[in-house]
A and B are shown apart, each in its own frame.
Chain A
């Protein structure tokens, strides 16, 4: 467990077994050194985590129309803005489970619509779930039981960087013979192949726009059908076919956020292949995603409403529509009249619009200086405790507080707004 916060802020404090909130993997074996409010991730941190922990927070104050004000004044202005709104969009939702809970309560109170920064990516998986379902697995299963892993258009060089050491080539596994025999393949553009030293990935080069065709070809080849493909893909696929023939537990990995808007077709194709294999052997899929609290927002919204995001509270009953209730579409169509943007993990600018704007964000989040309220908020797992759900939709992890920044949690600010709406 993390050590206690230092009483004296001058001291260095070493926090161990820290959960990293900066991608959907939620690695929880980081060591983070805290000193005078500065953080440095050391043990088990990937380059992205190192950068994220090391980010120096700019000074930030609550602001109305770009002018610093007391928190109370900013909250009052934000509440007025919401009161005037007939249908606000609560977007971004870059927060933890408690932040999402509070956002949903506020959305219900003011008849709003909820979506997440990665709403479209998350919806790609959901569309497959709702139309055909899938057979999936979790990180520890990949680590311990897989003897074949195929990365289908997945780039783990930045996000999901530690997937390589945690799951693909760990030091040890419960079924060591599977680890010893394990073969790794990457389908997709060569420049997206893992660059982790010594990982030993066999590359099946294809363009991002050829992924679907390649996966379908793989399925056809496995079924013994004739396939014609341009280039050297056919030869390369023969390697996967041979590996599949020897495999006892194959895992196919995709990353919804790295696919295009028709990415659900690829996910579906991969799931069809997994189903084929499961008729007489074992295989499973795994989605890497859920960054910026996305998996938590999806799950929390699902248990509180029945629906995985893209829910409107505007009517007499809940209205779920992943197409209509999409952030970009709502802003473009003028169907919402205010935007509440939550971005506490990193400073993601709200999407461009002229709508009245409330930003609950980590210091440094860009906020325009007109018709806006800025409420600086802490980052879950750095500035306050919290909980997040991992990409595999099973494991939820606790987040520690690592420094005393006095930045409130998004949940606290959202509750304040709810209270002020009465």
Chain B
């Protein structure tokens, strides 16, 4: 009888969840999961010799725009971008296009080809949830999930304006989470997208919505509170007020202070860490933000690093995207007011290394990476594709791990920006252990994915194997092997099998009495029935589209 276990032997293992920092040891796979060493060596069916290789769990991207209406608008809008990166027949199981607005299939294949096995779409609208899931269903290999937007929907603002009890908000949050088949709750420019529909062009933390009188602070605190009470694994995922505005570091600091210990995740903080000092009234606020994050254990963040070149910005923040559309390149943009629920803006953009602002944005992102001390609370993102496409992660990893490479690049940038940044003086170089935290263990822990992001017994058999090359960009671009649920899917950076990934959702208990309130509201004001807004399990699972992995409330001590 042949064995049943695969042994990955002799690799240097980085598994921060279990404190394993570069030990040479074997990892065993059986029936799709990681298992202990079999008692009988005859159980080993095949062995991969991984000497000279680095072994990590499959990557987990906590914030990447891979599916939904705005992503698809960006695709439709940018044929010129696709033409530079068309995937030839035979390269992948399905044809497609890549670069800044890749086709769904290409997203799945290319993530896998970098060793990532799970990706989370951070800005799904309840009104658009069905389409977002359809797109993610057509994204092969990787597991996926999405965070549903709340905070600019008229229903929540009406509840807050009417001083509705917290319980009602909490139940509405839970209903939305379930209806949209989401993992977590995201807020974007809290209340600001709604305010823009009433022609407000900015909304500070304590500024009132012109119609509802509600402030972003109220929105943030009510949502963060509801999430804590519901016990959602991932805290409120916050895209704050004033994105991209010089001087917005003060808003970000005020937001951290306002949360006052409530758990929260601040996303693409680079775009929210700007001072207004200097001749150009644009400066780095990274040091202050990092200091605030360092002393606030309730806060986690991702950076949203920008890298130079063409990209497209896709955001629910219609207010700020409208302001940014003047700087678009090529000069075209989409702006949408959406369904009394949210909004979006899509603006192509080219980050230029000789441009003062862009160069300083680059430096600010790296300053944040290097100044925030705890990698368990800091995740590696480019806010794909807003800062850069996800395919540039290996380059970003090299910038973090290789100070001389970083400083050589800094010398080529706009000299005034380089002079305005402390980056050259920052000596920190990330270790492989820290990279494994930021790209795997940390995001998985933050999302409550107990079986992902680590290599312990019982974890899903998602494993990435890289050749330990001193050029970390080269190393992370082309894994030697990637396994998904125990199956070899990538060899030498090329997809050889494309299984279907699962969709992760969170389900919690709540008072179904809220359905009456929601039903009445939809009947009176909306253009769809709430029962039709809700995405059924069968829509995700039927016709072999993939399974649903249901997570419960946070395990409490």
Interface positions of A (Cβ within 8 A of B)? 1, 17, 19, 28-29, 97-98, 101, 105, 108, 126, 129-141, 143-145, 166-167, 171-175, 248-249, 278, 281-282, 284, 298-300, 302-308, 313, 315-318, 320, 387, 389, 392-398, 411
Contacts and interface: CB of A to CB of B under 8 A. Distances in A.
A129 B330 CA distance: 12
Given A140-B340, A302-B76, A317-B95, A282 B105 contact: no
A133 B333 contact: yes
The SS class assigned to the A binding surface is: mixed
Given A137-B336, A282-B199, A29 B529 contact: yes
A130 B543 CA distance: 34
Chief secondary structure at chain B's binding surface: mixed
A393 B73 contact: yes
B97 interface: yes
Contact of B135 (A134, A303, A317): A303
Contacts of A396: 128, 130-131, 134
27 contacts: A17-B529, A28-B529, A108-B94, A108-B95, A126-B76, A136-B334, A145-B340, A166-B527, A172-B525, A174-B340, A278-B335, A282-B196, A282-B197, A284-B335, A284-B337, A302-B72, A303-B67, A303-B138, A304-B94, A305-B103, A306-B101, A318-B95, A320-B79, A394-B127, A396-B130, A397-B130, A398-B536
Q: Which of B87, B197, B331, B337 has the largest count of A CB atoms less than 10 A from its CB? A: B337
A411 B101 CA distance: 27
B164 to A, nearest CB: 16
Given A135-B334, A143-B527, A389-B131, A398 B539 contact: yes
A299 to B, nearest CB: 6
B508 interface: no
Contacts of B69: 393-394
A397 B338 contact: no
B315 to A, nearest CB: 14
Interface of B: 67, 69, 71-73, 75-79, 82, 86-89, 94-97, 101-105, 125, 127-128, 130-131, 134-135, 138, 154, 158, 196-199, 211, 322, 325, 331-341, 346, 524-529, 531-532, 535-536, 539, 543
Given A101-B138, A175-B211, A398 B199 contact: no
Nearest to B325: A133
Given A130-B79, A306-B82, 6 more contacts: A101-B138, A172-B524, A174-B154, A282-B196, A305-B97, A395-B128
Nearest to B137: A101
B336 A307 contact: no
Nearest to A142: B527
Contact of B332 (A131, A166, A175, A397): A131
A148 to B, nearest CB: 14
Nearest to A98: B543
Given A278-B322, A303-B103, A134 B526 contact: no
Contacts of A167: 527
Given A1-B531, A141-B197, A306-B101, A134 B334 contact: yes
Contacts of B75: 302-303, 306-308
Nearest to A306: B97
Nearest to A26: B528
A130 B332 contact: yes
Contacts of A174: 154, 158, 340, 525
A97 B134 contact: yes
Contact of B334 (A133, A144, A173, A317): A133
Contact of B339 (A19, A139, A298, A307): A139
B525 A129 contact: no
Contacts of A105: 94
Nearest to B155: A174
Contacts of B87: 317
A160 to B, nearest CB: 13
B101 A138 contact: no
Nearest to B131: A396
A134 B72 CA distance: 15
Nearest to A409: B543
A19 B77 CA distance: 29
B258 to A, nearest CB: 27
A28 to B, nearest CB: 5
Nearest to A132: B332
B525 A304 contact: no
B79 A306 contact: yes
B430 to A, nearest CB: 34
Contact of A318 (B97, B130, B334, B335): B97
Given A144-B154, A303-B75, A397-B130, A318 B86 contact: yes
Give the 3 A-B CB pairs with smallest separation, nearest first.
A317-B86, A306-B97, A396-B130
B134 A145 contact: no
Contacts of A137: 336-338
A304 B138 contact: yes
B370 to A, nearest CB: 36
A105 B101 CA distance: 20
A281 B198 CA distance: 9
Most buried by B among A145, A300, A304: A304
Contacts of B95: 108, 305, 313, 317-318
A283 B287 CA distance: 40
A387 B130 contact: yes
Contacts of B134: 97, 300, 303, 387, 396
Contact of B340 (A144, A300, A307, A315): A144
A421 to B, nearest CB: 15
A108 B198 CA distance: 46
B512 to A, nearest CB: 15
A281 B199 contact: yes
A303 B105 CA distance: 9
A397 B524 contact: no
A138 B339 contact: yes
A308 B76 contact: yes
Nearest to B135: A303
A304 B528 contact: no
B88 A316 contact: yes
A323 B89 CA distance: 23
A248 B86 CA distance: 44
A137 B344 CA distance: 10
A315 B102 CA distance: 19
Contacts of A284: 335-337
A19 B101 CA distance: 31
B500 to A, nearest CB: 13
A19 B526 CA distance: 14
Contacts of A172: 524-525
Nearest to B89: A316
Nearest to A281: B199
A379 B371 CA distance: 59
A141 B337 contact: yes
A304 B131 contact: no
Contacts of B104: 303-304
B7 to A, nearest CB: 36
Given A306-B102, A313-B95, A317-B89, A129 B76 contact: yes
Nearest to A315: B89
A138 B525 CA distance: 13
A395 B127 contact: yes
B103 to A, nearest CB: 5
Interface centre among B69, B128, B199, B532 (most CB of A within 10 A): B532
A101 B154 CA distance: 34
B336 A136 contact: yes
B105 A304 contact: yes
Contacts of B333: 133
Contacts of B101: 306
Nearest to B158: A174
A26 B75 CA distance: 24
Contacts of B196: 282
A145 B157 CA distance: 15
A395 B334 contact: no
A307 B197 CA distance: 30
B525 A173 contact: yes
Nearest to B344: A394
Contacts of B325: 133
